[in-house]
Amino acid sequence: MVPTPIPVNLTAQIQYSIPKQELVTITIYDVLGQRVETLYSGMQTTGGHQVTFNGERFASGVYFYHLQTEAYSLTKKIMLFK
């Protein structure tokens, strides 16, 4: 199953949950695979969390957010429209 990209006007809330306290990093990449912003990097407690992606300073287009923990990795597409 192919995940549906998240359409974004200028900001988007990225929500996620972690099963235990661990180091979490959430990074934004452009279509060339270059890191353009780190939204969060640090220890987080068990449970649900959210971070805000503010695309105001980026051009319209496709971006990816990558969530990395010690035991889990997830990448999803974001489509930024201005």
Q: Residue 37 domain-assigned?
A: yes
pLDDT at 80: 87
Q: Residue 10 domain-assigned?
A: yes
Q: Residue 41 domain-assigned?
A: yes
Token code pair at residue 10? 């200028």
Q: What is the pLDDT of residues 45-62, one digit of tens each?
A: 999 999 999 988 999 999
pLDDT at 43: 97
The structure's pTM equals 0.84
Q: Residue 46 domain-assigned?
A: yes
pLDDT-derived band at 11 (thresholds 50, 70, 90) equals confident
pLDDT at 81: 81
Q: Residue 1 domain-assigned?
A: no
The CATH number of the domain holding residue 58 is 2.60.40.1930
Query: In angstroms, rounded to a whole number, what is the distance separating the alpha carbons of residues 45 and 22?
Result: 7
Tell me, what DSSP letter sits at residue 4? P
Token code pair at residue 8? 């974004």
| E-only strand ranges, the chain | 6-8, 11-18, 22-30, 35-44, 47-54, 61-68, 73-80
Contacts of 45 (CB under 8 A, 6+ apart): 21
Question: 16 lies in which domain range?
Answer: 6-80
Number of domains in the chain: 1
